[in-house]
Structure formats: C-alpha cells, structure tokens
Structure 1
Amino acid sequence: MTRSNEPVRAPQGSPPTRSLGIAAVDPVPFCREGLSAIVQRTPGLHWAGHAGNPHAALQLAEQVHPDVILLDSGLDPNGHLTKLLTSGDPALLIIVLVRETHRTAAYLQIATVSGAHGALPRTAEARRLVEAIRRVHLDRRYVDPALAPLTAQQRPGFRAGDPVVATRRPRMPLSRREFQVLQLVAEGLENAAIAKILYLSVETVRTHVKSILRKLSARDRTHAVTIAFRGGILIAQTEDPPERGSAGQSPQSPPGLEEYRSR
C-alpha cells in the first residue's frame, strides 16, 4: 500500500491528449479521493496524482509535471511551499483550497504574493472547483466570490478574478532541496534514509544539512527543526499522520512515484 505522504500518480493510459493534468496536495485521504472523483468525471481534465505533505508535493511537481495543483492551505499557511513550487516550474498553476481558519485578508495576501493563481474555500461545491480550474487556466487568476470581500479589504473596488495587491513577502531562507531535507529531518530520518527517499547520495544530504544549520544559525539538527517550526518554515500537521506500515517503522525503499490504485 502506498504511504499517504508519498507522491502518487494517476494510472497511465487513458487521459485525453489535450486535457489538463490536475493534482492535489492534501493530508486527508477522503479529500484527495473526492477531488480525484470530481476531476475524473469532468471533461477536459484528468487526474495527475496526489501528495500528502510538502516534500512529497515537490517530488510530485518535479516528476509528474501537472498543469494545476490544488493545495490545502493547512499545508502552506505561510506561502513557502507555493513559492517553491512556482519557482521550480513557472508554468505550474496553484489553486489554494482555503480552510476556515485561513479565511482572512492576510492569508489571501500571503498566498497571492507567494505565487498562488487562485483561491476558493476548501468546502466549495464541485462546480465551483471546476470553474476555478478553468478560470485559472484561462486567466491565470481567480478568487472565488465567497472570498472576494476579503480581498476587497485590501484594495477598494476589487472584483472577483482581479489580482491581489500584496506588500508582505514570506521569507524562505532554504532552497527547494534543503526544504525537503529539513522536512525529513523533522520526521526523524537519518541521512541514509533521506538519501534514499530523495534519490541523492548520503554526502549530498550531509552537505544540505550543513547548509541548513548555517542558514538557520542552528547548533544541530534538533535545533534547526525547532527554529523552523517557530519561524513558520515547517508546520505541524494535525491531520492524517504519515502511514509507515507498522507503528514507528522506517521506510524500506525509496518512495518514488508508485502506480495509483483505484479503490
């Protein structure tokens, strides 16, 4: 069985040539299943896969290259993941699915300046999700009408679909790879296990760890993780903890892109 924190691609074979590949980054399995069902029944879209945490999201983007990623705001409250995803692939479109706790003008501002192209409530109906995907693909910008009043607080006369003017830029001192390494360090993995997961040499991982310690002014790995959580670089996931087979078991093989299995 595929672990929930691994990037997972859709089965090969049938999507139409000109359809848009849609992927989801969400820690909750039934939310991913629901998004997959909506996408697969919508003409012109096909399911490209899913990931359950930030470092798996970066792997998904690098290896599958979806056209659009639907990103749970709970996994990226400070915009760091959005910024890393869009800087790695300027053509990638990001739509944030906004949780109730993030329905604020400040969050929408952060998401937009970080590179998000669209935003809608995480509880939106299926038709609104499909509309958001199509509008973002056509206009590269969409804000759901339910969230428009929040953006209007930033700029008078704002209309749904207009870009949000933001003045605050989130600070991300780490590179994409360093961010992935730090995520895995926070999960308690040693350099050898991290190397297998990210398909790197142990020496390269060691170099990344040294760079992380230097950039965060940390004494050691534990201190670096503490600083990252306090500074909002890493976030605590309260939903859907990663499955690792039996409790406490470390991964036995590198979690590459495994074939998606329909349930």
Structure 2
Amino acid sequence: MTRSNEPGRAPQGSPPVRSLGVAAVDPVPFTREGLSSIVQRTPGLHWAGHAGNPHAALQLAEQVHPDVILLDSGLDPHGHLTKLLVAGDPALLVVVMVREAHKNPAYLQSAMLAGAHGALPRNAEARRLIETIRRAHLDRRFLDPALAPLAAPQRQGLRGGDSLVSARRPRMPLSRREYQVLQLVAEGLENAAIAKLLYLSVETVRTHVKSILRKLSARDRTHAVTIAFRNGILIAQPEDTPERGTPGQASTPPSGMAEYRAR
C-alpha cells in the first residue's frame, strides 16, 4: 500500500498540494478524537487513522503509511516502539506527545536517540501541536519551546561523548514482528489467535515465538514475558488507559484490529 496521499486545497488551475497524513498512537479514545478533529480542520493535513497500543501501531504504519505518527510517551517510555517505527519506514516522522512523568532530560534523550523527530507536551494547545508537526516535517527535528531547556544536557552529553548517551540508547533485541507477537503473547493469546490478528500462518508464529525465547534466553512463553517486562521491552498499560470491559461481560479483544483504525 502506498503512503497516504490526499490532495490539499490549491488555487484554481494550480496542481493539487499534497497534504500530510497524520495518525495517532494513544490509548485514550477521547484524546484520539481530539487529535483527529484538530488535524482534519487544519489545511495541509489529513487524518490517516489511529492505534491504541504498540503492536497495532506497527500494523497502522505498515498498512496505511502515514507521514506523521503522534505517539503518546506513555506507550513508549523507553523508545523501543519509536525505534521500530522509524526502522520500518525511514520517511515516517514520529512526534512524541510527552506526559508529565516523562518531562526530563533522560526521557527526551532516549526518545531522540530512538529516532523521534519532534516532541511536545501531551497537554499542549492545538496551535503548538500543528507547529510541531510542520516544523518536524520541514527540519526533521523540532522540540516544543516548553521542552527545549530539558534538551540542553543532552546536547552537552553528545558533544562531550558522555557515557550516558550510549547507556540511554534504546536496545531492542527483537524484530518488529517478534515485538508484535510478544505483545500478544503477554495478553494471553495462543498461536492461532496471534496468527489471525497478524495475518500470518500458525507455523510462522511458532517460528517467531522460538526466536523470541532464544533471543531473551527464556525457558518458555511466560518466562519470556517476565523478562520483557523486567527489561522494559514490554510496558504496563498507562494509568489512563480505559478499562476493557467489566466483570461478567466479554471485553473487546485487547489487541486486535479493534485497536487500529485507518481513516
């Protein structure tokens, strides 16, 4: 599938102007709806879709090819998802929406080293969001003024060869597909269900699971999940992630296409 490419408005008789496809990766439906509204009313931008968790974010990137992904820092506190998204599509821009808990030099350094192209506070005003998207698109790197002071130690460390730079560089031993499979294993899905969600054969899923066990030096699936959480490869859901169903009711599958929506 080709990159999202909707024409923008242009003067009559002029060739159509290509608009930027913007998608969001955020666990909160209300936040996603707000981002969609802001993008859709902004000239030069169009809404490309959303995802509610990391593995659905990779599906969104692979199938829709947005130009920009707005990524909640709560879903990627160590930069692993950012690194996989950028590695899979060098043209993709990742703009991190930074939560209060992550407003510190260590997180910003980690995000930028992982490949993020822009960052702004998650509670920023709409005009600052649009500015960050546009500046990141033009310059391939932009920090909102509210976060820029936090990046000063990062720049000093990079110039001085500080060991913190290498220490903070995200280490992701798994491939994109292995990361998705492990996410689903952690959610309790068996190989057949994982194969259905990722459009793979069951045998291919088995191969990925074996590779995950080997790379993490895990005895079994449960041990692999434990190691992944301990090492920050997998993360607990952010605190404001909505509950999935109530006791006595069947909840929506936590990581299927219900969590991924194209425009």
Alignment TM class, shorter chain as reference: 0.7 to 0.9
Residue deviations 1:32-63 (CA, integer Å, cap 9, x gap): 01100100010000000000000000000000
Mapped to 2, the partners of 1:65 and 1:92 lie a distance apart of: 8
1:84 paired with 2:84, answer yes
**Distance apart, 1:248 and its partner CA:** 4.6
Mapped to 1, the partners of 2:262 and 2:46 lie a distance apart of: 15
**Distance apart, 1:154 and its partner CA:** 2.8
Mapped to 2, the partners of 1:73 and 1:230 lie a distance apart of: 19
Mapped to 2, the partners of 1:190 and 1:15 lie a distance apart of: 42
**Distance apart, 1:240 and its partner CA:** 2.5
**Distance apart, 1:170 and its partner CA:** 1.0
CA contact (8 A) 1:21 1:66 kept: yes
**Aligned counterpart, 1:240:** 241
CA contact (8 A) 1:15 1:46 kept: no
**Aligned counterpart, 1:214:** 214
**Aligned counterpart, 1:49:** 49
**Distance apart, 1:15 and its partner CA:** 5.7
**Aligned counterpart, 2:61:** 61
Mapped to 1, the partners of 2:5 and 2:131 lie a distance apart of: 26
Q: For residues 226 and 82 of structure 1, do their structure 2 counterparts lie closer, same or farther at Cα, with a shift above 3 Å needed?
A: same
1:153 alignment partner, SS class:
helix
**Distance apart, 1:169 and its partner CA:** 1.3
Q: Percent identity?
A: 76
**In the TM superposition, what are the counterparts of 1:120-139 in structure 2 within 5 Å?**
120-139=120-139
**In the TM superposition, what are the counterparts of 1:7-86 in structure 2 within 5 Å?**
16=8, 18-86=18-86
Higher helix share: 2
Mapped to 1, the partners of 2:66 and 2:249 lie a distance apart of: 32
Mapped to 1, the partners of 2:75 and 2:261 lie a distance apart of: 22
**Aligned counterpart, 1:255:** 257
TM-score by length of 1: 0.85
Unaligned runs of 5+ in 2: 9-16, 159-163
Letter in 1 for 2:181: V
**Distance apart, 1:166 and its partner CA:** 4.2
**In the TM superposition, what are the counterparts of 1:181-220 in structure 2 within 5 Å?**
181-220=181-220
Mapped to 2, the partners of 1:131 and 1:14 lie a distance apart of: 20
Mapped to 2, the partners of 1:247 and 1:186 lie a distance apart of: 21
**Distance apart, 1:244 and its partner CA:** 7.0
Q: For residues 220 and 53 of structure 1, do their structure 2 counterparts lie closer, same or farther at Cα, with a shift above 3 Å needed?
A: same
CA contact (8 A) 1:120 1:129 kept: yes
CA contact (8 A) 1:112 1:166 kept: no
Residue deviations 1:129-154 (CA, integer Å, cap 9, x gap): 00000001100010011001111123
Mapped to 2, the partners of 1:120 and 1:259 lie a distance apart of: 24
Q: For residues 247 and 182 of structure 1, do their structure 2 counterparts lie closer, same or farther at Cα, with a shift above 3 Å needed?
A: farther
**Aligned counterpart, 1:154:** 154
1:154 alignment partner, SS class:
helix
Aligned length: 241
Letter in 2 for 1:179: Y
Letter in 1 for 2:177: R
Mapped to 1, the partners of 2:252 and 2:217 lie a distance apart of: 29
**Aligned counterpart, 1:93:** 93
Mapped to 1, the partners of 2:29 and 2:96 lie a distance apart of: 17
Letter in 2 for 1:240: T
CA contact (8 A) 1:218 1:227 kept: yes
CA contact (8 A) 1:181 1:209 kept: yes
